[in-house]
Chain A
Amino acid sequence: MMQGFAFVAVSVLLIVLLLLGTRSKKDKGLASATMRNRERLGSEGVLQPAELAHRIFSPKDREFIGLTHSPRLQRLYQDDRRNVALHWVRRTSREVSAIMLRHRLNSRYSQNVNVAAEAKLFGLYLELRFLCGVLVFLIQLFGPHALVDLASYTSELYEQVGRAMRDATAASNVASSEDAVP
């Protein structure tokens, strides 16, 4: 029983490491691309999904709570932060599913579907859903703080999928309208 569990855990970790290893340099620039929402009036407080993931999963708060040496506070903190982290992962997973559904409905009516782009998109979607599943499992097992890199990567991938689906939908719409011109 224990050997089976260990095998599954090691397999999951290897897959996660493999996925992180395949991360391209281009992906690393995605965090800076999230600055797109910065608006007028010099507003600094615009939502940054990657930053939010980093904020939730960062171990800094745990270190601060640890300094109190209060088991009650530490327990409260662990429970609360685990719930917030799970909320973030489940929401990310739900949102990407909704985006994918919309994209599928749009593609159904398009006559110019780029098969290669669609396949790549579907691959990204599957990777993201898989990562969300792994994150839920690992958060429940170890808590969120060991997973800051994986969560940041998931967040960036989420943005990448969202952008790619928007672009693919726009491209197929343009192609369809060009075909419709006599």
Chain B
Amino acid sequence: MLFRDISMNNPPYLLTMRNAFEDLQRRTLSHIPCDFARLIYLASMRDYNTAIYHHEGLAARYGQEQTREALQTSHREIFCKLVFLPLEGLVTELETYVRASHEAQDDFIHAWQELEPYRVAVPMEADATMVQLFLSNVRLALEVLRFRREQEQSQAGQPVSSLPLSPAR
């Protein structure tokens, strides 16, 4: 279920929520460089303690509840999109996200393999198998990026970065 039952029989509520959803897509998400970055952005809109989404600008225009539903729907939608993306596509997404972060790639990969912060990007009530697949694919995508970095460094004659193996291994 993408939406709660409250919205099912309430056309004005649904219309406002649709407007909030479209506004979010148009004004915010379309300016973010890739789906992976959108996923992280939407997860960051969610309170760590209560898992309730907040967005002051949207809430002022469309109401708290409608804004929450719009954010939650977008979050789930992008999550599903990334789960169904082939691994090659996910590696590209992650690469774009790393580049957009302007951090050193080695540091980024190291931190993400150690801390696995992508775990908090999973939406609430997501399908358990989809979560497993997503986490596994991100782990693999990070390994692929790391492997490519090592290849680049060895080809350039630089000492290969001494990243430790990911803890999951």
Q: Which residues of A contact B (CB under 8 A)?
A: 39-41, 43-47, 51-52, 55-56, 60-61, 64-65, 68, 70, 72-73, 76-77, 80-81, 83-84, 87-88, 91
| Chain A binding surface SS class | helix
- Contacting residues, chain B, for A60 (C-beta < 8 A): 86-87
**Nearest chain B CB to A42's CB is how many angstroms away?**
9
Return the CB mask of B120-157 against A: 1 if under 8 Å, else 0. 00000001111011001101100110010000000000
B88 within 8 A of A: yes
Per the bound structure, the CA–CA distance linking A17 and B132 in Å amounts to 30
- Give residues in B with beta carbon < 8 Å to A: 2-3, 14, 17-18, 21, 73, 76-81, 83-84, 86-88, 127-130, 132-133, 136-137, 139-140, 143-144, 147, 169
Decide: B83 and A40 in contact? CB cutoff 8 A. Answer: no
Query: What residues of A have a CB within 8 angstroms of the CB of B130 in the complex?
Result: 47, 52
4 tightest Cβ-Cβ pairs between the two chains A and B: A45-B80, A45-B77, A61-B87, A80-B136
If A65-B140, A91-B128 are given as contacts, then 13 extra A-B residue pairs at C-beta distance below 8 Å, sorted by A number, are A39-B3, A41-B17, A41-B73, A43-B77, A44-B77, A44-B80, A56-B129, A61-B88, A72-B147, A80-B139, A83-B132, A84-B132, A91-B129
Q: Is the CB–CB distance between B129 and A73 below 8 Å?
A: no
CB distance B80 to A68 under 8 Å?
no
Show 19 residue pairs from A and B whose CB-CB distance is below 8 angstroms, ordered by the A residue: A40-B2, A41-B2, A45-B80, A52-B83, A52-B129, A55-B83, A56-B129, A60-B87, A65-B144, A68-B147, A70-B147, A73-B143, A76-B139, A76-B169, A80-B139, A81-B136, A84-B136, A87-B132, A88-B129
Q: Are B2 and A46 in contact (CB under 8 A)?
A: yes
